[in-house]
């Protein structure tokens, strides 16, 4: 899963991003509306966490722009303007959800995950043979045996399952499970895939396509 946080309060934006990364979610940050639109249109995101009162381009205009664009990202408005009228207005602009400040971080995470599951072709439970991935509960089992995975391992497995047999490059995994600031020359993806393979057991479920990436057929 990859999320874009558009928030002009830098400390809050960074705190949200760090907290989501701790949950195994790839996160990018934009500190104004113009940068938010640019990043949202340049990259593929599952969810955009969007402050409403933004500099350069107001959050309402950002929301309208994204709704009218090819982006399939779900939009969670996050703002201090939390009266019923404000929420209705935000939802009428095309936002998928609305969360007022201050907020409980656990609720933010739950709402982000819920929105991501509403994305096109994003089934809440993915079954591939004897492998079952419950995306809502973040639980994996193989042949009925629970498999304990770290958040990054869950993220990699999720991306491979959602790809439905297609090859996913290490660069794509780095971008979607980590974020835009990840070192493209790191061996993090290779190491994480190797650990994931060991934990899933035998026979090996993940194919390495030399020079291209990984797939889960």
Tens place of pLDDT per residue across the chain (217 aa): 889 999 999 999 999 999 998 888 889 999 999 999 999 988 889 999 999 889 999 999 999 999 888 888 999 998 886 666 666 776 778 889 999 888 999 999 999 998 987 765 456 788 888 999 998 788 999 999 999 999 889 989 999 998 888 899 988 888 888 876 666 667 889 999 999 999 999 999 999 999 899 999 8
Q: Given 92, 117, 142, which residue is the final one in a domain? A: 117
SS (H, E, C) 55-115: CCCCHHHHHHHHHCCCCCCEEEEEECCCCHHHHHHHHHCCCCEEEECCCCHHHHHHHHHHH
Query: Based on the domain organization, do 69 and 12 belong to the same domain?
Result: yes
Task: Tell whether pTM > 0.75.
Answer: no
Query: Based on the domain organization, do 10 and 26 belong to the same domain?
Result: yes
Query: Based on the domain organization, do 17 and 83 belong to the same domain?
Result: yes
Query: Based on the domain organization, do 12 and 105 belong to the same domain?
Result: yes
Query: Based on the domain organization, do 78 and 149 belong to the same domain?
Result: no
Distance CA 65, CA 60 (A): 9
Q: Given 57, 87, 117, which residue is the final one in a domain? A: 117
Query: Based on the domain organization, do 112 and 132 belong to the same domain?
Result: no
Q: What is the pLDDT of residue 63?
A: 93
Q: What is the pLDDT of residue 39?
A: 93
Per the structure, how many domains does the chain have? Answer: 2
Q: What is the pLDDT of residue 75?
A: 94
Q: DSSP class of residue 163?
A: T
Query: Based on the domain organization, do 97 and 151 belong to the same domain?
Result: no
Query: Based on the domain organization, do 43 and 140 belong to the same domain?
Result: no
Please report which residue ranges of the chain form alpha helices under DSSP H.
Answer: 10-22, 33-42, 59-67, 84-92, 105-117, 151-162, 170-173, 188-200
Enclosing domain of residue 21: 2-117
Query: Based on the domain organization, do 103 and 130 belong to the same domain?
Result: no
Q: What is the pLDDT of residue 94?
A: 86
Tokens of 42: 């340049």
Q: Residue 109 maps to which CATH number?
A: 3.40.50.2300
Query: Based on the domain organization, do 21 and 98 belong to the same domain?
Result: yes
Q: Given 53, 84, 117, which residue is the final one in a domain? A: 117
């Amino acid at each position: 899963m990859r999320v874009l946080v558009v928030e002009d309060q830098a400390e809050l934006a960074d705190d949200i991003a760090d907290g989501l990364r701790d949950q195994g979610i790839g996160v990018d940050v934009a500190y104004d509306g113009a940068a938010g639109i640019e990043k949202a249109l340049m990259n593929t995101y599952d969810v955009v966490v969007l402050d409403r009162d933004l500099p350069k381009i107001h959050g309402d205009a950002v929301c309208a722009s994204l709704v009218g664009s090819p982006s399939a990202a779900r939009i969670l408005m996050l703002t201090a303007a939390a009266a019923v009228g404000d929420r209705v207005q935000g939802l009428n602009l095309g936002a998928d959800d609305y969360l007022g400040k201050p907020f409980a971080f656990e609720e933010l995470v739950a709402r982000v995950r819920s929105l991501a599951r509403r994305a096109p072709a994003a089934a809440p439970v993915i079954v591939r043979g004897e492998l079952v991935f419950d995306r809502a509960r973040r639980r994996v089992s193989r042949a009925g045996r629970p498999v304990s995975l770290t958040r990054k391992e869950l993220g990699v497995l999720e991306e491979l399952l959602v790809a439905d047999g297609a090859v996913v490059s290490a660069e794509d995994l780095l971008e979607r499970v980590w974020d835009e600031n990840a070192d493209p020359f790191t061996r993090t993806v290779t190491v994480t895939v190797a650990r994931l393979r060991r934990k899933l057991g035998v026979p090996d479920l993940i194919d390495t396509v030399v020079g291209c990436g990984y797939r889960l057929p």
